[in-house]
Amino acid sequence: MRLTFNTVRDGLEAIDAAAEQLQSAQWQVSTGRRVRIPSDDPAASQSAINTQGEIGALDAYTRTANTADAHLSALDSTLGDVVDKLTQALTTATGAHGNTADQTSRDAASATLAGIRDAVADDINSRFDGGYLFGGTAGNTIPYAKGAGGWTYQGNSASRSVEVSRGRSVAFTMNGEEILKGSDSTDVLTTLDGLVNAVKTGDNAAIGSGLDALQRAFTRAVRAQSLVGADEAALGDAKDRINELRLGAGERLSNAQDANLADAITKMSQAETTYRAALGAVGTAEKVSLLDYLR
Partner 1 sequence: MGLFTTLSSASRALDAQRFGLEITGQNIANLNTDGYARRSPILVEQSMHDGGGVQATGVSAARDAFIEARLRGELPAQARDGAIVDSLAVVQTSLGQPGKSIDGSLTAFFDAFSALSLNPQSAVARDGVVLQGRLVARAFNDMAGRLADSRSAADSQVRGIAGQVNALAARIATLNAQIGGANGADVEPLKDEQGAALKQLAALTPITVVAGETGGVDVSIGSGRALVVGGNDYALGVSSTGISGLAAITSGGVDITAELSGGKLGGVLEVRDALVPAYQTSLDQLASDFASAVNAAHASGYDANGDPGQSFFTTPATVAGTAAALTMNTAIAADPSLVAASGTGSAGDNQAATSISQLRDAMAAGGGTSTFTEAWSQIVYRVGTDAQSAEQDQQSRQDVVSAISHLRDAVSGVSLDEEAGYMLRYQRAYEANAKFFGVVNQALDTLMSLVGGA
Residue ranges in contact with partner 1 by CB under 8 A: 1-9, 13, 37-43, 45-53, 55-57, 59-60, 63-64, 67, 129-132, 135-140, 156, 158, 160-163, 166, 169, 173, 257, 289-291, 294
Q: Strand, helix or coil at 295?
A: coil
CB of residue 250 to partner 1, shortest distance in Å? 12
Q: How far apart (Å, rounded) are the C-alpha atoms in residues 126 and 95?
A: 29
CB of residue 2 to partner 1, shortest distance in Å? 5
Q: Which is nearer to partner 1, 67 or 77 (CB)?
A: 67
Q: Which is nearer to partner 1, 11 or 194 (CB)?
A: 11
Q: How far apart (Å, rounded) are the C-alpha atoms in residues 178 and 189?
A: 13
Q: How far apart (Å, rounded) are the C-alpha atoms in residues 207 and 111?
A: 15
List of long-range contacts for 119-126, beta carbons under 8 Å, 24+ apart: 119/81, 119/85, 120/82, 120/85, 120/86, 120/89, 120/180, 120/188, 120/189, 120/192, 121/146, 121/151, 121/189, 123/78, 123/81, 123/82, 123/85, 124/82, 124/176, 124/179, 124/180, 124/189, 126/74, 126/78
CB of residue 46 to partner 1, shortest distance in Å? 4
Q: How far apart (Å, rounded) are the C-alpha atoms in residues 252 and 258?
A: 10
Q: Which is nearer to partner 1, 230 or 288 (CB)?
A: 288
Q: How far apart (Å, rounded) are the C-alpha atoms in residues 75 and 261?
A: 50
Q: Which is nearer to partner 1, 225 or 257 (CB)?
A: 257
CB of residue 256 to partner 1, shortest distance in Å? 8
CB of residue 82 to partner 1, shortest distance in Å? 21
Q: How many CA atoms lie within 13 A of 277 on its CB side?
A: 10
Q: Which is nearer to partner 1, 58 or 83 (CB)?
A: 58
Q: Which is nearer to partner 1, 149 or 167 (CB)?
A: 167
CB of residue 136 to partner 1, shortest distance in Å? 7
